[in-house]
Amino acid sequence: MYIQDTAKKLLERIQAKKQVVDDHRPFPVSVIRRLREDWMLEWTYHTNAIEGNTLSLAETRLVLEHGLTVGGKTLREHFEAINHRDAIVLLEELAESSRDFTVTDLLDLHSLVLKNIDPDFAGRIRNGRVRIVGANFVPPPPHKLDALLDALFSDLKEKESDLQAPVLAAWFHHRMVHIHPFFDGNGRTARLAMNLLLMRAGYPPAILLQQDRKKYFHALNAANKGDYSRLMLLVFQAVERSLNMYLNALPGHYEDYLPLSDIAREPDIPYGQEYLSLLARRGRIDAHKEGRNWLTTKKAVREYQESLGD
């Protein structure tokens, strides 16, 4: 219903990787601590940068890990970093809970996102209309929001048993953004909720990169018209990237993920960098992004080659 054939193959690859991760649980405490520190920093940096926060990754680390302020940055930008970290801590508690995810939980997450930034509306449904610049839809009026949120969480409960977690998380993310229940903080809260659903199903959080900001907004606009393929691909690729972080932490030998330019220079690889980039962007090969660069492995390219019968 929501995904095309290419994305289905990517989803199968994700599930296979998750099974490998699950087979190696429990991870050593030191490994879990390091991975948590890495994705908490990256998640906070990228989700805030998508919304216009100008703290760099290094500056975000200074704020979160050392409690320092950065010259030339606004107080709001500092609060956005601290607040998001606190929201992740609450999210981790919710992920461990066996009870259903509720509207109240969503409001609690939003309350932390806007703490010390907009105290009048932190954790509160908007009571006025909003307009989103660049979006291809008009969010619903405030008098419909309570009913729409109730319907969303009712649909979530029904779909949990039918949809795989990455599909469910991407679907919920879009529906919440489309309802746009808050004056501010909708995107950050939607990405938190998306990852809560993933983590409750045993997946690591999916970090949407600020380098993909335009692609992300285009994907949401396409989903507004009923085409979920772009959003699903973006979320699936983010999930795979996080799973790769876990797999790389496992003991044993794993092929290094290298820049596409390095892979293309290998004498036994028949594809150029541009073609590999196209395959990576479409999810046809096992690849993930670091910054603006795609990384993959020789094994992934060989598997694609074999699938074609080359």
Q: Which two tokens stand for residue 178?
A: 């489309």
Model confidence at 253, pLDDT cuts 50, 70, 90, reads low
The pLDDT of residue 250: 79
The pLDDT of residue 254: 65
Domain annotation covers residue 266: no
CA distance 58 to 65: 10
Q: CATH number, domain at 41? A: 1.10.3290.10
Domain annotation covers residue 34: yes
Domain of residue 53 covers: 26-254
Q: Give 293's strand partners.
A: 290
**Total of domains in the chain:** 1
Q: Which of 180, 218, 253, 288 is catalytic?
A: 180
Residue 110 annotated among the catalytic residues of the structure: no
Domain annotation covers residue 74: yes
Domain annotation covers residue 222: yes
Pick 25 or 197 by higher pLDDT.
Answer: 197
Which pTM does this prediction carry? 0.94
Domain annotation covers residue 195: yes
Domain annotation covers residue 13: no
232-250 as b/e, with b when 16 or more CB fall inside 10 Å? bbbbbbbbbbbbbbbbebe
Q: What is the pLDDT of residues 63-107, one digit of tens each?
A: 999 999 999 999 999 999 999 999 999 999 999 999 999 999 999
- Establish how many alpha carbons lie within 13 A of residue 259's alpha carbon, considering only the half-sphere containing its beta carbon: 6
Q: What is the pLDDT of residues 137-190, one digit of tens each?
A: 889 999 999 999 999 999 999 999 899 999 999 999 999 999 999 999 999 999
